[in-house]
């Protein structure tokens, strides 16, 4: 806490993403095991959230810092209006020199609206506020070429420029108390780097690690960001929505999207999966099964099924109406491959 308070006093803006509400609630209620049912987890989290904030309030107040609790779910960020409201609230708190303490709202979250791990949540929050650095503190020193607990020859990777080239070293969960592991940290790195934010994984038990990371010293593993940072709306499409369906495209459509910057027309669609309405988010899949982008559809799943593989001038005849020539307009499309 002292390191965060020091940074804040030096004029830097810090957002702390945390967990522990359920653990704190279990301790207060005398539970020896984590609850199994959803209502029990939510009840325990309701008890624990207040306790957790009491701890942070006490610790930060010793350094003259004011803190604020911000509870989020996927639903808060998948709605464009609530996404913007969350962003404005966090930025306003930072303007007041307040340290936002962000946690998943376990008291209301169900599986459909849960982030699932704090690594993902931290990356989404970093992108939400346009952070200059995402620091993920863990119980490991960083990313190794192999599991150092099993392989004494494993080497620490100090810098990663292309995530997919080393993603195979990500194993299962690390700490038995957490829900994430190295895989979730790689997912967080993809979100951060695509949003133009460098990310560092470092050991949280190392004294001075926060200062060292901020000062640019070598600590842990640094993921370098991509040069072209997604704009806010493109970030929202790429990371804050969950796709409601998939459309598969042929090679011609793939080239038109990735190389020519075109919209997705029905003629390039070969297969439709899922049930979705106009305005829902879709994954765009190539014939190898790789997701090359995501975008908001202009037509329902039934309508896309009828017009797939056909020219746009046939839409009105096939559907008895034509609102758009394209299934996904370029302005509502974000691509995951290099254009």
Residue 139, pLDDT > 50, answer yes
- Lookup: tokens for 37: 């049912």
Q: Could you tell me if 48 and 78 are in contact, meaning their C-beta atoms sit under 8 angstroms apart?
A: no
Per-residue pLDDT band for 179 (boundaries 50, 70, 90) equals: very low
244-293: per-residue pLDDT in tens? 999 999 999 999 999 999 999 999 999 999 999 999 999 999 999 999 99
Per-residue pLDDT band for 35 (boundaries 50, 70, 90) equals: confident
> Which regions of the chain carry the CATH code 3.40.1160.10?
2-234
Q: Are strands 156-157 and 143-144 parallel, antiparallel or unpaired?
A: antiparallel
Residue 174, pLDDT > 70, answer no
Beta strands in 63-149 (DSSP E): 67-72, 99-104, 134-138, 143-144
Q: Could you tell me if 285 and 260 are in contact, meaning their C-beta atoms sit under 8 angstroms apart?
A: no
| Residue 171 CB neighbours (<10 A) | 14
Residue 209, pLDDT > 90, answer yes
What is the pTM for the complete model shown?
Answer: 0.81
Share of the chain above pLDDT 90, in %: 62
Overall CATH class of domain 2-234: alpha beta
The alpha carbon dihedral of 324, 270, 263, 189 has a sign of positive
- Lookup: tokens for 65: 């810092």
Average pLDDT of the segment spanning 201-225: 93
Supply the angle between the helices 118-129 and 182-194 in degrees, to the nearest 10. 10
> What is the rounded average pLDDT for all residues in the chain?
88
Q: How is residue 229 annotated by DSSP?
A: P
The reported pLDDT for the residue numbered 73 is: 85
Q: Which residue is associated with the tokens 């691509």?
A: 335
Per-residue pLDDT band for 111 (boundaries 50, 70, 90) equals: low
- Residues 218 and 208: their CA atoms lie apart, in Å, by 12
> Which regions of the chain carry the CATH code 2.30.130.10?
243-335
Per 3-state DSSP, the chain is made up of helix, strand and coil in percentages (nearest 5) of 40, 20, 40
Domain 243-335: assigned CATH number: 2.30.130.10
- Residues 241 and 153: their CA atoms lie apart, in Å, by 40
Q: Could you tell me if 118 and 35 are in contact, meaning their C-beta atoms sit under 8 angstroms apart?
A: no
- Residues 260 and 248: their CA atoms lie apart, in Å, by 18
195-204: per-residue pLDDT in tens? 999 999 999 9
287-328: per-residue pLDDT in tens? 999 999 999 999 999 999 999 999 999 999 999 999 899 999
Backbone angles phi, psi at 214, to 5 degrees: -65, -35
Residue 34, pLDDT > 90, answer no
The reported pLDDT for the residue numbered 176 is: 31
Residues contacting residue 128 through CB under 8 Å, at least 6 positions apart: 77, 83, 86, 87, 90
72-107: per-residue pLDDT in tens? 988 888 888 898 999 999 999 999 999 999 998 877
């Amino acid at each position: 806490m002292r390191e965060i308070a020091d940074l804040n006093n030096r004029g830097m803006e810090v957002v702390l993403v945390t967990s522990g509400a359920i653990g704190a609630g279990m301790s207060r209620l005398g539970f020896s095991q984590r609850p199994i049912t959803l209502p029990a987890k939510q009840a325990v989290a309701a008890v624990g959230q207040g306790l957790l904030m009491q701890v942070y309030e006490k610790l930060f107040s010793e350094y003259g810092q004011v803190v604020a609790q911000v509870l989020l779910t996927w639903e808060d960020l998948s709605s464009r209006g609530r996404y913007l409201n969350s962003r404005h609230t966090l930025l306003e708190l930072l303007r007041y020199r307040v340290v936002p303490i962000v946690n998943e709202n376990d008291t209301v979250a169900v599986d459909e609206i849960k982030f699932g791990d704090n690594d993902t949540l931290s990356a989404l929050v970093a992108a939400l506020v346009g952070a200059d650095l995402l620091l993920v503190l863990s119980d490991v020193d960083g990313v190794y070429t192999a599991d150092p607990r099993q392989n004494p020859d494993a080497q620490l990777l100090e810098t990663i420029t292309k995530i997919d080239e080393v993603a195979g070293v990500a194993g299962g969960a690390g700490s038995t108390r957490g829900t994430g592991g190295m895989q979730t940290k790689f997912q967080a790195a993809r979100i951060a780097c695509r949003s133009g934010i460098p990310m560092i994984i470092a050991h949280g038990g190392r004294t001075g690690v926060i200062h060292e990371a901020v000062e640019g010293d070598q600590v842990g593993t640094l993921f370098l960001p991509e040069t072209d940072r997604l704009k806010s709306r493109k970030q929202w499409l790429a990371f804050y929505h969950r796709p409601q369906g998939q459309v598969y495209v042929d090679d011609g459509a793939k080239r038109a999207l990735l190389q020519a910057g075109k919209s997705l027309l029905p003629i390039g669609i070969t297969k439709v999966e899922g049930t979705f309405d106009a305005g829902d988010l879709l994954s765009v899949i190539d014939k190898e099964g790789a997701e090359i982008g995501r975008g908001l559809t202009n037509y329902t799943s039934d309508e896309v099924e009828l017009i797939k593989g056909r020219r746009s001038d046939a839409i009105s005849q096939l559907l008895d109406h034509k609102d758009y020539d394209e299934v996904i307009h370029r302005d509502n499309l974000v691509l995951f491959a290099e254009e």
